[in-house]
C-alpha cells in the first residue's frame, strides 16, 4: 500500500522520482542492504533543496546517499526516507574552475576537467563516489585529496539555511571535513590549472590501469575498509596478520588487496560487520594498532 508521505511527495513534486520498498543493495557498491521504505531521487541541486524543505515540514529526517560507495546498509533496510543524489549531476566550466552538483560522479568530473584541458583532478579518476560524498570525507588517492582542489562548497545546514564554505572553513583533514550528518552538500567549485589535455587524459588512463592491476574491482566492495593508521598502512598490517582470503559468509578479505573487503556473493551486513571486527581484533593482537573503519555503517 502506498504510504501517505510518498503520496504527498508525488503530489507536491510531480517530477520527483519516488520509489517505495526500494532495495538499498541496488544503491550501494557493496550490493548489500534491505529495502528503504521510500527512496527519492531528485534531479538537481534545486530539487534537492526543495525536497529537504518539504520533508522538514513533515517532520521527516532523510538519510542522504550519493553512490553508496563508502557505506554498509542494514539487512533489514531502513524504515524511513533515503535520498539518493546521483541524478543531481550537472557539471559546468567556469574559467579554470569546474562547478558540479553533489551527485556528479567523481570520475565523470575528473574526465570533464581533462576534456577542458584542466589539470589537478586526475587523482580522482576511478574513485567510485559522488562529489558530495568525496567532500564529506575529503576523498583522495595517489597523492591528491579534495582539499587540494576545492575552492568552495554550497550546502544546507541543519536548519536548512543555504551556506557557503571556502578555504579553512571547509575543515579538511585526513578523511574528514567540516560537513556533518545534518549538512546537505548541494554543489562545489573545484579550482584547477591549465594543462595539456592529452597529458591529463593519459594520467587518468594510467591511474585507472593502476587501480585495475592492484584492486579487486571485479567484486563489489566499499573501497578501502580502514583508514590509514599513523604507524603504517592498514593493508600491509592485515596482510602480515595472515588475513588475505579470510572469509565470513559471503564476505572476504580480498586476496588481491588486503585493504579491501569484498562481497563474494550473497554477503550480508552481518557478515561484513563480523569480518570488519575480526580483522580489527587480529591486527590489534598482532601489532597493538586498532584500525579505524573507513566504511560507514548505517
Q: How far is CA 117 from CA 90, 106, 145, 235, 237, in A?
A: 19, 17, 20, 35, 40
Q: What angle do CA 240, 242, 126 make, to 5 degrees?
A: 75
- The rounded distance, in Å, linking the Cα atoms of 186 and 184 is 6
Any catalytic annotation for residue 175?
yes
Question: Quick check: helix, strand or coil at residue 138?
Answer: coil
* Contacts with 277 (C-beta within 8 Å, 6 or more apart), sequence order: none
Q: Please tell me which residue in 122, 224, 254, 280 is annotated as part of the active site.
A: 224
Any catalytic annotation for residue 194?
no
Q: Please tell me which residue in 19, 56, 108, 175 is annotated as part of the active site.
A: 175
**Cβ(288)–Cβ(229) under 8 Å?**
no
- 43, 296, 37: which is closest to 176 by C-alpha? 296
- Residue 84 main-chain phi, psi, to 5 deg: -110, 125
* Contacts with 227 (C-beta within 8 Å, 6 or more apart), sequence order: 174, 175, 234, 291, 292, 293, 294
Any catalytic annotation for residue 264?
no
- 88, 91, 23: which is closest to 50 by C-alpha? 88
- Element at 247 (helix H, strand E): strand 247-248
Question: Quick check: helix, strand or coil at residue 216?
Answer: coil
Catalytic residue numbers?
Answer: 175, 224, 294
Amino acid at each position: 500500500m502506498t504510504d501517505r508521505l510518498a503520496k504527498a511527495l508525488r503530489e507536491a513534486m510531480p517530477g520527483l522520482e519516488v520509489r517505495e520498498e526500494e532495495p538499498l543493495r541496488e544503491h550501494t557498491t557493496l550490493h548489500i542492504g534491505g529495502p528503504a521504505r521510500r527512496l527519492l531521487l531528485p534531479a538537481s541541486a534545486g530539487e534537492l533543496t526543495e525536497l529537504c524543505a518539504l520533508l522538514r515540514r513533515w517532520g521527516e529526517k532523510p538519510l542522504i546517499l550519493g553512490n553508496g560507495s563508502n557505506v554498509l546498509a542494514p539487512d533489514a533496510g531502513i524504515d524511513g526516507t533515503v535520498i539518493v543524489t546521483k541524478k543531481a549531476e550537472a557539471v559546468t566550466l567556469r574559467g579554470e574552475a569546474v562547478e558540479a552538483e553533489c551527485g556528479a560522479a567523481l570520475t565523470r568530473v575528473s574526465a570533464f576537467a581533462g576534456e577542458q584541458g584542466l589539470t589537478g583532478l586526475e587523482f580522482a579518476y576511478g574513485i567510485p563516489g559522488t562529489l558530495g560524498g568525496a567532500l564529506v570525507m575529503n576523498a583522495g588517492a595517489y597523492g591528491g585529496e579534495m582539499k587540494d582542489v576545492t575552492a568552495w562548497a554550497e550546502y544546507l545546514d541543519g536548519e536548512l539555511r543555504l551556506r557557503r564554505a571556502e578555504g579553512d572553513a571547509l575543515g579538511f583533514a585526513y578523511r574528514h571535513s567540516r560537513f556533518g550528518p545534518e549538512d546537505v552538500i548541494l554543489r562545489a567549485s573545484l579550482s584547477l590549472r591549465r594543462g595539456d589535455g592529452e597529458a591529463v587524459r593519459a594520467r587518468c588512463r594510467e591511474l585507472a590501469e593502476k587501480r585495475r592491476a592492484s584492486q579487486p574491482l571485479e567484486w563489489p566492495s566499499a573501497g578501502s575498509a580502514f583508514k590509514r593508521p599513523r604507524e603504517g598502512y592498514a593493508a600491509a598490517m592485515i596482510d602480515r596478520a595472515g588475513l588475505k582470503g579470510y572469509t565470513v559468509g559471503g564476505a572476504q578479505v580480498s586476496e588481491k588487496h588486503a585493504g579491501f573487503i569484498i562481497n563474494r556473493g550473497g554477503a550480508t551486513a552481518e557478515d561484513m560487520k563480523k569480518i570488519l571486527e575480526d580483522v580489527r581484533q587480529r591486527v590489534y593482537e598482532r601489532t597493538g594498532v586498532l584500525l579505524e573503519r573507513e566504511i560507514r555503517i548505517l
